[in-house]
Amino acid sequence: MTLMTKFFGAAAAVALSAGAALADPGLIIDLGGKFDKSFNEAAYNGAKRWIEKTGGKYKETELQSEAQREQSMRRMAESGANPVVVLGFANASTLDKVAPDYPDTKFAIIDMVVDQPNVESIVFTEQEGSYLVGMLAGMASKTGTVSFVGGMDIPLIRRFACGYAQGVKAVNPKAKIIENMTGTTPAAWNDPVKGGEITRTQISQGSDVVYAAAGGTGVGVLQTAADEGILSIGVDSNQNYLHPGKVLTSMMKRVDNAVFDVFSKGVDNFEPGIKVLDLKANGVGYALDQYNEKLITPEMKAAVEAAKAAIIAGDIKVHDYMSDDSCPVETM
């Protein structure tokens, strides 16, 4: 093992001197943990799929604190990793500072736009995916009250909430939507206990479908929903399998595809600039598999598929919260 590491190290050094053509890609995992069953894990799965497909290897590091971002990013760039995928909006200001110092390293940041010549910014249209799962929630709800648990209270998460609310209202204009955020700091991405508490409160207010857009916190939301016998909606990764028959669907945000794509394209085919992964590009969507097929009736599926086609065709415009920092649909 150690011999192999040394061998690969030497090979990487040779490759570096030969113009960094054969460098390993790198992945910097955000706060909240690699196995959060959601955002970070989706990225990890994308990297894993790339390994299985190409037999290559990649470098990975996991952030442990806010103050550590810069050192991790520089360390990754200096280790010769190329391209480097940086997960999460919170890295934007650090990447903006670090990227110009390593002009030969290609960076890709997910969920945020960084305007540098060697950075590819990958953003998703979360409002569209959330709209679809919102429709499903509206149709599945018997009480007419559904709820939303966000992670950290930032515009990005409000974009999820707003898309969700629009979807619910589209199928049930009289529906009540309860919206809560877990916290205001990155700690809110990994607080399943608080997520569960919020869910319990929402249930007491009548909610019978809860949508979690909260990273690792969502695990607690889904668990509580399953315990209390209501339906839940997962996020980012397909979380249907966590509680078979109790998770209505998952809003898939294909971070795994984004990571896989950047890794596969490598340095030579790297495309700087903004890349929007929307419904049309299969960047977002809803999950349907053997775990939730009994929960989604053919009528529900038909309605959602119709809306999906309409959004792709441009006939339905889902309002983006981040475009004007407001949501046309009332939530509480």
By C-beta, is 97 or 200 nearer to another protein?
Answer: 97
Q: Residues near 241 by Cβ (< 8 Å), separated by ≥ 6?
A: 247, 289, 291
By C-beta, is 26 or 285 nearer to another protein?
Answer: 26
Q: Supply the minimum distance, in Å, between the C-beta of residue 326 and another protein.
A: 14
Write the Ramachandran bin of 250: left for phi over 0, alpha for psi from -120 to 50, otherwise beta: beta
List 24, 30, 41, 60, residue binding another protein (CB under 8 A): 60
> In one letter, which amino acid is 324?
D
Pick out residues in 184-243 that bind another protein (CB under 8 A): 184-186
Residue in 247, 143, 142, 161 with CA at minimum distance from that of residue 205:
143
- Report d(CA 207, CA 194) in Å as an integer: 17
> In one letter, which amino acid is 13?
A
Place of tokens 């997910």: 110
List 16, 20, 22, 68, residue binding another protein (CB under 8 A): 68
Q: Supply the minimum distance, in Å, between the C-beta of residue 107 and another protein.
A: 15
Could you give the 3-state DSSP secondary structure of residue 150?
A: strand
54 binds another protein (CB under 8 A): no
- H/E stretch holding 15: helix 2-17
Radius of gyration of the chain (CA): 20
320 binds another protein (CB under 8 A): no
65 binds another protein (CB under 8 A): yes
Tokens representing 40 are 């970070």
Pick out residues in 264-283 that bind another protein (CB under 8 A): none
Pick out residues in 71-90 that bind another protein (CB under 8 A): 71, 74-75, 78-79, 89-90
Q: Supply the minimum distance, in Å, between the C-beta of residue 263 and another protein.
A: 18
- Report d(CA 48, CA 58) in Å as an integer: 9
Could you give the 3-state DSSP secondary structure of residue 252?
A: strand
154 binds another protein (CB under 8 A): yes
155 binds another protein (CB under 8 A): yes
Tokens representing 221 are 């939301």
How many residues touch another protein under the rule CB under 8 A: the total is 29
Could you give the 3-state DSSP secondary structure of residue 286?
A: strand
List 92, 219, 279, 318, residue binding another protein (CB under 8 A): 92
Q: Supply the minimum distance, in Å, between the C-beta of residue 60 and another protein.
A: 7
Q: Supply the minimum distance, in Å, between the C-beta of residue 102 and another protein.
A: 9
- Report d(CA 129, CA 284) in Å as an integer: 5
List 14, 101, 269, 317, residue binding another protein (CB under 8 A): 101
List 85, 109, 112, 287, residue binding another protein (CB under 8 A): 112
List 156, 178, 262, 284, residue binding another protein (CB under 8 A): 156
Tokens representing 223 are 């668990």
Q: Residues near 56 by Cβ (< 8 Å), separated by ≥ 6?
A: 24, 25, 50, 263
Residue span 8-47 as binding mask against another protein, x where in contact by CB under 8 A, dash where not: ----------------------------------------
Q: How many C-beta atoms lie closer than 10 Å to residue 282's C-beta?
A: 11
Q: Which residues bind another protein (CB under 8 A)?
A: 2, 59-62, 64-68, 70-71, 74-75, 78-79, 89-90, 92-93, 97, 101, 112, 154-156, 184-186
